[in-house]
Amino acid sequence: MAVPDGAVRVALLGCGVVGTEVARLLLTQGDDLAARVGARLELVGIAVRDASVPRDPVVDPALLTTDAEDLVTRADVVVEVMGGIEPARGLLLRAIASGAAVVTANKALLGADGPTLYAAADAAGVDVYFEAAVAGAIPLVRPVRESLAGDRVTRVLGIVNGTTNYVLDQMTTTGLDLDQAVKQAQELGYAEANPTADVEGYDAAAKAAILASLAFHTRVAVDDVHREGILAVTAEDVAWAQRTGHVIKLLAIAELARPAAADEGTAEGRGGEDAGRRGVVVRVHPALVPLDHPLAGVHGAFNAVFVEAESAGELMFYGRGAGGAPTASAVLGDVVTVARHRVTGGKGPVESSYAELPVHGVGEARTRYQVLLRVEDRPGVLAQVAQAFAARGVSIEAVRQGVAAAGDDGAQADILVVTHQARDAALSATVADIAGLPVVRSVMSVLRVEGA
């Protein structure tokens, strides 16, 4: 399994949006990746259906091949971003048989037949990683497979389809009905011309199957998933949800099913022979989510997966569920991990300090301030305050003035100043200047504004 010497050979299957982005990162961030892996990653070829199609300039035509069958036997790591079940499955099984580690973003394949791949990889003693196959860029597969490996997951609730989340969000915020919201999503590029895979829940069901397999160490295929899409959701449903403090989300749910015997209190059901039949139920359907639940705040095309585990309690993972760059980020993370396994023969990531960037003081941070001042209430005061900001090159975004209760020494007012982003050193110098202005009675509060 070890790499002979020199580089780790990487083969790429597919050169669409994600494939091109993966190739770009491999080709342009070679030094960074080499530091993280402990060896260089060498892109040895990109398998495509038609090598004559025009491509992004980053893709060297000399790397293209239409002979994927051959390519997969010439690599240490095979990255599959072509999608669909065949020929992807056959090629990955061939790669595994050749001793290559495999990274795939293919949710359709894993949802339909992941366990076959996993078993082949286990038997061959090679890695199969697939962070990008569920919830795009969100690191989710690795935490569930590894961070929670000493725990027991009891339930997974996910918003795993950005299109339907966007549509339901629009229905909630604008009162549009479903058809209108889907049409708008299509116009904005959030939904495909044929939105069936999204709105009928097929995409979410494939991801639910993958998640369930991982979380419960059990073979779950997409056909095992109960699936209801969002087509039955009406504007009236959305309005009722709001009235009762909920929001409607399309959820992918995988959970341990408690035995029927514990149910409903029917006499014959209690403690009977069914009591031990613990199993897994996997379902995709629209659901009411209480507004104070973390999933209720997941808007637009974002994805999030909420996990409940016996010891860890409640966890949530949030981020972009699709898109070329986010998906490529997840794929590259997997490539680094499996390549590193090859290089080190059994050790986790290297640590920490190879970049050795300078560590600056807080003065170098760029942020925004909100400053609350109590000032004399007379003309010209605001101009003096504004001038103090301008003198330090700090731009003001907004000012609010209010009259404060009169103090011992006459009429006074409160001024709230919110700045644009500037260097922290300039901001704090400005505040010091302002505190020294005769018209300023006190600087009541200085708070940085983050995340805006």
Interacting positions 10-49 with its own copies (CB under 8 A): 21, 25, 29, 32-33, 35-36
Nearest Cα neighbor of 161 from 126, 185, 197, 194 is 197
Q: Which stretch binds its own copies (CB under 8 A): 84-92, 185-193, 432-440, 442-450?
A: 442-450
Pick one of 142, 180, 184, 186: the residue that binds its own copies (CB under 8 A): 142
Give the CA dihedral 145, 146, 150, 155, nearest 10 degrees: -40
CB atoms within 10 A of CB 156: 26
DSSP code string of 153-185: EEEEEEE--HHHHHHHHHHHHH---HHHHHHHH
Q: Burial letters for 160-187: b for 16+ Cβ neighbours within 10 Å, e otherwise?
A: bbbbbbbbbbbbbeeebebeebbebbbe
Which one, 56 or 146, has the nearer CB to its own copies? 146
Pick one of 213, 376, 381, 419: the residue that binds its own copies (CB under 8 A): 213
Read off the tokens for 28. 């342009």
Pick one of 53, 62, 149, 405: the residue that binds its own copies (CB under 8 A): 149
Pick one of 34, 51, 350, 437: the residue that binds its own copies (CB under 8 A): 350
Nearest Cα neighbor of 369 from 415, 313, 422 is 422
Distance CA 332, CA 339 (A): 10
DSSP state of 179: H
Distance CA 137, CA 118 (A): 21
289 binds its own copies (CB under 8 A): yes
Output the CA torsion sign for 224, 230, 234, 239: positive
Helices (H), 371-444: 381-391, 424-435
Pick one of 93, 176, 197, 281: the residue that binds its own copies (CB under 8 A): 281
Task: Say how many residues touch its own copies, by CB under 8 A.
Answer: 151
Pick one of 49, 270, 366, 378: the residue that binds its own copies (CB under 8 A): 366
Whether 385 and 373 have beta carbons less than 8 Å apart is answered as: yes
Q: How far is the CB of 345 from its own copies (least distance, A)?
A: 4
Residues 6+ away with beta carbon under 8 Å from 54:
none
Pick one of 19, 45, 201, 286: the residue that binds its own copies (CB under 8 A): 286
Amino acid at 12: L
Catalytic residue among 107, 183, 207, 249: 207
Phi and psi (nearest 5°) for 221? -105, 165
Pick one of 306, 388, 412, 419: the residue that binds its own copies (CB under 8 A): 306
Q: How far is the CB of 404 from its own copies (least distance, A)?
A: 11
Q: How far is the CB of 1 from its own copies (least distance, A)?
A: 6
Using CA atoms, how far residue 70 sits from 11, 47, 98, 364, in Å, is 10, 10, 11, 53
Which one, 49 or 239, has the nearer CB to its own copies? 239
123 binds its own copies (CB under 8 A): no
Tell which positions 220-249 bind its own copies, by CB under 8 A. 220, 224, 226, 234, 236-237, 240-241, 244, 246, 248
Q: Which stretch binds its own copies (CB under 8 A): 46-54, 172-180, 190-198, 443-451?
A: 443-451
Q: How far is the CB of 50 from its own copies (least distance, A)?
A: 27
Pick one of 416, 435, 437, 443: the residue that binds its own copies (CB under 8 A): 416
Pick one of 84, 175, 348, 410: the residue that binds its own copies (CB under 8 A): 348
Which one, 49 or 270, has the nearer CB to its own copies? 270
Amino acid at 320: R
432 binds its own copies (CB under 8 A): no
189 binds its own copies (CB under 8 A): no
Which one, 57 or 402, has the nearer CB to its own copies? 402
5 binds its own copies (CB under 8 A): no
Pick one of 107, 207, 283, 441: the residue that binds its own copies (CB under 8 A): 283
385 binds its own copies (CB under 8 A): no
386 binds its own copies (CB under 8 A): no
Q: How far is the CB of 300 from its own copies (least distance, A)?
A: 11
Which one, 113 or 377, has the nearer CB to its own copies? 113
Read off the tokens for 92. 């990955």
Whether 253 and 295 have beta carbons less than 8 Å apart is answered as: no
Read off the tokens for 347. 């050790």
Residue 435: CA count within 13 A, CB half-sphere? 11
Using CA atoms, how far residue 205 sits from 133, 307, 310, 399, in Å, is 12, 17, 25, 50
406 binds its own copies (CB under 8 A): no
Query: Does 207 participate in catalysis according to the annotation?
Result: yes
Question: CA angle, corner 301, sides to 300 and 307, nearest 5?
Answer: 100
β 410-419/366-376 pair status: antiparallel
Question: CA angle, corner 226, sides to 143 and 251, nearest 5?
Answer: 50
Tell which positions 60-119 bind its own copies, by CB under 8 A. 114-115, 118-119
Q: How far is the CB of 73 from its own copies (least distance, A)?
A: 20
Q: How far is the CB of 117 from its own copies (least distance, A)?
A: 8
Active site residues: 207
